[in-house]
């Protein structure tokens, strides 16, 4: 894929709504795809720190542009697309997603036919640095109060972690307002695991951004 103009790394998350990760300089090229897919969260960053496949292809272009004294276009636009969750399998989803991807290729001009009209964005793009990766400091049975697609206010309950021996309940709350775009399929929490993700609009994290 190193010589591609556009790279789409297609995935499914654990339990999730449709969402995308892309580097900020790639967003203009990826916005039509977000519209066609109906992405409910778009996470932007310049170098998330994880050496992810998509960033290895798009990253060198904006890095060169920042270092060299003459304009360099973004030679590769890339995105990791999370096609909802692993259990979201249906003919309707498959047909809709295939149509969206084909329509995007038409929009790019790489396949024939009239490209579809672009719908409104389903969400505003937000910084990956503003996303909360919900973790539990204690182990226990994980009982979610929030599901993917829920919009939470600051302090809203995300989940409870219950000690199966003594019944102690530890609450996990939203530390940023925003949309729950993914959560784990596990129902037993261990300290350090990513349990849920909330797309906040204000950056507050630095360094490695693909986890807390």
Angle (nearest 5°) at CA 103 between 99 and 106: 145
Task: Return the exposure string of 130-155: e unless at least 16 CB atoms fall within 10 Å of the residue's CB, then b.
Answer: bbbbbbbeeebebebebebebebeee
Tokens of 51: 């050496």
Q: What are phi and psi of 87, to 5 degrees?
A: -90, 0
How confident is the model at residue 212, as a pLDDT? Answer: 58
Cα gap 180→87, rounded to integer Å: 17
Q: How far is it, in rounded angstroms, from Cα 72 to Cα 58? A: 13
**Residue 180: its pLDDT value, please?**
99
Give the chain's domains with CATH numbers.
Answer: 6-124 (3.40.630.10), 128-199 (2.40.50.100)
Which residue is associated with the tokens 């036919």?
113
Predicted confidence pLDDT, tens digits, the chain (212 residues): 989 999 999 999 999 999 999 999 999 999 999 999 999 999 999 988 878 899 999 999 999 999 999 999 999 999 999 999 999 999 999 999 999 999 999 999 999 999 999 999 999 999 999 999 999 999 999 999 999 999 999 999 999 999 999 999 999 999 999 999 999 999 999 999 999 999 999 999 988 788 75
pLDDT at 49: 84
What is residue 211's predicted lDDT score, i.e. its pLDDT? 73
The set of residues, in sequence order, having a beta carbon less than 8 Å from that of 185 and lying 6+ positions away, is 14, 15, 85, 86, 87
Interatomic CA distance for residues 74 and 71, integer angstroms: 10
Distance CA(108)–CA(32), nearest Å, equals: 9
Task: Report how far residue 194's alpha carbon sits from residue 200's, in angstroms, rounded to the nearest whole number.
Answer: 16
């Amino acid at each position: 894929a190193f010589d591609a103009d556009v790279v789409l790394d297609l995935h499914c998350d654990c339990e999730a709504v449709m969402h995308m990760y892309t580097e900020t300089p790639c967003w203009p090229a990826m916005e039509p795809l977000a519209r066609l897919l109906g992405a409910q969260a778009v996470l932007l960053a310049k170098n998330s720190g994880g050496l992810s496949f998509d960033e290895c292809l798009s990253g060198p272009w904006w890095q060169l542009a920042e270092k060299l004294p003459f304009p360099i276009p973004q030679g590769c636009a890339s995105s990791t697309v999370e096609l909802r969750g692993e259990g979201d399998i249906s003919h309707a989803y498959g047909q809709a997603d295939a149509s969206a991807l084909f329509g995007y290729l038409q929009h790019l001009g790489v396949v024939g036919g009239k490209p579809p009209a672009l719908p409104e964005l389903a969400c505003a793009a937000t910084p990956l640095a503003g996303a909360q990766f919900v973790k539990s400091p204690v182990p226990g049975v994980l009982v979610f109060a929030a599901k993917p697609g829920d919009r939470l206010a600051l302090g809203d309950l995300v989940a409870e972690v219950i000690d199966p021996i003594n019944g102690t309940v530890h609450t996990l709350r939203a530390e940023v307002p925003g949309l729950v775009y993914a959560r784990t399929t596990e129902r037993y929490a261990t300290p350090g695991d990513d349990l849920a993700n909330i797309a906040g609009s204000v950056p507050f994290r630095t360094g490695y951004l693909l986890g807390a």
